[in-house]
Structure 1
Amino acid sequence: MQLKPLLGQHHVSAITANAKENYHFYTKVLGMRLVKKSINQDDTSVYHLFYADERGNPGTGLTFFEIPRAGTTYTGNNSISLTSLRVASDEAIKYWKKRFEEFEVKHDDVVTKYGRNVLSFQDFEGQRLELVSDETNRGVVGGKPWDQSPVPVEYAIVGLGPVQLTVPQSDVTIKVLKDVLGYREKESYPSSVEGQPAIRVFETGEGGTGAEIHLEERTDLPRERAGRGSVHHVAFRVESEQELKKWVDYLQQLRLPNSGFVERYYFRSLYFREPNGILFELATDGPGFEGDESFEHLGETLALPPYFENQRAEIEAKLKPLNTKE
């Protein structure tokens, strides 16, 4: 079957225990735009918040499920262990270092890693994040920052960068990345942990920061226990619904357990787990987030896909009010 290459990262979905504080951090501190305030379509009692560039372009989305009773994350193996966010330049990295100091965000020093300036930091729940400079990047273009953000456009986050997976058996994950998803190995760089194997870099499509997976093999770690501040899944871009249906057929032919075609309204999806248990999603570039809200008012009210509208009163009664208009 002839499949087009995946286009890069689509979104990363993580867990928060506090939607109000989460909204404040990602919009007021990081300056991302909330493009959709919706629900977890598999558990309608839970918020699903979508942060991105000005209109939620594919490859710019960082999303959160609010699980108020989510416990502490015990970091470890079999996990999506680092999510990076792209900024335009090395100068932007310097700006963020000062901003994190101003807002008392826990962060490390600026370092050069895999040939790019990066700045690691954590949100208020310990979510593991990293800013990466696109100063020398070639490949998938970034998004367009919202001009009403508290962060100047020239320094703003423009999308998702490399996503790091940490696994005890890298060979089986590599087989899925290369033989199933069509990634190609690009390079490697030393682990920050002495005595551990180099971190291997895989890319798809046009490559670059928006299309890389960084694979870390660690045999010295226990399995991660997910909670607030952990990542639920990573999604990769498929250009169209027609192409996604080809992927559904392809995974069925491979007899790889998967969700089949899933309607998410804002995009269409396909889910499966690679052998180390990490959840992958393939998601279409469209239709996008403006089917039920205008560009000017994205994220201001609770948006429900049409097939949940008849449950609106019941759903709203279970959710704690969240003001996203200010």
Structure 2
Amino acid sequence: MAVPSPAPFKLGGVHHVAYRCRDAKETMEFYRDALGMKFSKAFAEDHVPSTGAYDPYMHIFLEAGNGNVLAFFELPEQPAMDRDRNTPEWVQHLALRVDSEADLLTAKAHLEAMDLDVLGPTHHGIFKSIYFFDPNGHRVELAADIGTQEQYDELLRVSQPMLDEWSQTKKAPRHAAWLHEIANAANAKTHPG
């Protein structure tokens, strides 16, 4: 198989990521109050600009920090929203970065004070995460990087061999088993016995 040539352009980052929501105002208020996102703009149209189809919508945009934007569509004339029932709930999620483990714990306390069910922190070897659901049923992750440069370099080194082995066997390769060992050791210290 021929190796494709690199793309003849350079990406400048993610402009925005869009999800569907049940209620635009409720969603904006949740992300503003729970995560401190700034509501930056909204568009409401009766026709979809790209296709011309009649499908009234409210499109809201929230600043997620560092130039990243999270957007939502409320579609009142479409069937009620649902999730992909053939994919486990934990798979499709939005992961947002926090600066430190301390910030992760502060976020957890804040979210729990809002009566949200928060799972974690979960130790992933090179980062720790907490998980919760927004009012639309979307799973949200907050993650704090804790790995060393050597660990990130090693993951980069083994990523292609891991993917190649997975593609052939569909079984978890052992190239980065050390990640699980780090997480298991940390979890044993946190939860002895």
TM over 0.5: yes
Once the two structures are superposed, the pairs formed by residues 172-321 of structure 1 within 5 Å of their partners are 172-191=26-45, 192=48, 194-206=54-66, 208=67, 211-219=68-76, 220-226=78-84, 227=86, 232-287=92-147, 290-291=150-151, 294=154, 297-299=157-159, 300-301=161-162, 302=173, 303-304=176-177, 305-307=179-181
Q: What residue is the counterpart of 2:170 in the other structure?
A: none
Checking the alignment, whether the CA contact within 8 Å between 2:124 and 2:180 is kept in structure 1 is no
* Paired residue secondary structure (1:175): helix
- Structure 2 distance, partners of 1:298, 1:159, is 25
Question: Could you say if the C-alpha distance between residues 216 and 204 of structure 1 is closer, same or farther in structure 2, counting changes exceeding 3 Å?
Answer: same
Aligned mates of 2:39, 2:152 — CA distance in 1 = 40
1:296–1:281 CA distance, 2 compared to 1 (3 A): closer
The one-character-per-residue Cα deviations of 1:247-282 (angstroms, maximum 9, x if unpaired) are 112122222111031111121101000111110100
Distance 1:170 1:255 in 2: 21
CA–CA distance in 1 between the matches of 2:79 and 2:149?
A: 39
Preserved CA contact (<8 Å) 1:266 1:289: no
For the residues of structure 1 that align with 2:92 and 2:74, how far apart are their CA atoms?
19
Q: 1:179 to 1:296 in 2, by over 3 A?
A: closer
Residue 171 of structure 1 aligns with which residue? Answer: 25
Name the CA shift for 1:294/1:242 in 2 (closer, same or farther; >3 Å): same
Q: Distance in 1 between matches of 2:150 and 2:11?
A: 21
> C-alpha distance in 2, partners of 1:216/1:309?
37
Please tell me whether the aligned partners of residues 267 and 288 of structure 1 are also in contact (alpha carbons under 8 angstroms): no
Aligned residues: 159
* Larger-Rg structure: 2
Q: Rate the CA distance shift 1:166–1:295 in 2: closer, same or farther, 3 A.
A: closer
Q: Which amino acid aligns with 1:244?
A: L
* One-letter amino acid matched to 2:104: L
Between the two structures, name the one with larger relative contact order (CA 8 Å, sep ≥ 6).
Answer: 1
Identity %: 23
Amino acid at match of 1:223: M
Between the aligned partners of 1:266 and 1:241, the Cα distance in structure 2 is: 12
Equivalent position amino acid for 1:213 in 2 = L
Inter-partner Cα distance in structure 2 for 1:199 and 1:255: 27
Quote the offset at 1:190 in angstroms.
4.6
Q: Could you say what secondary structure the match of 1:223 adopts?
A: coil
Q: How far apart, in 1, do the equivalents of 2:75 and 2:16 lie? A: 18
Deviation per CA, 1:86-120: give whole Å up to 9, x if none.
xxxxxxxxxxxxxxxxxxxxxxxxxxxxxxxxxxx
**Greater Cα shift, 266-275 or 160-169:** 160-169
* Local SS of the residue matching 2:120: coil
Cα distance in 2 for partners of 1:158, 1:232 equals: 24
Q: Structure 1 residues 289 and 182 mapped into 2: Cα distance closer, same or farther (>3 Å)?
A: same
Runs of 5+ in structure 2 lacking a partner? 163-172, 185-193
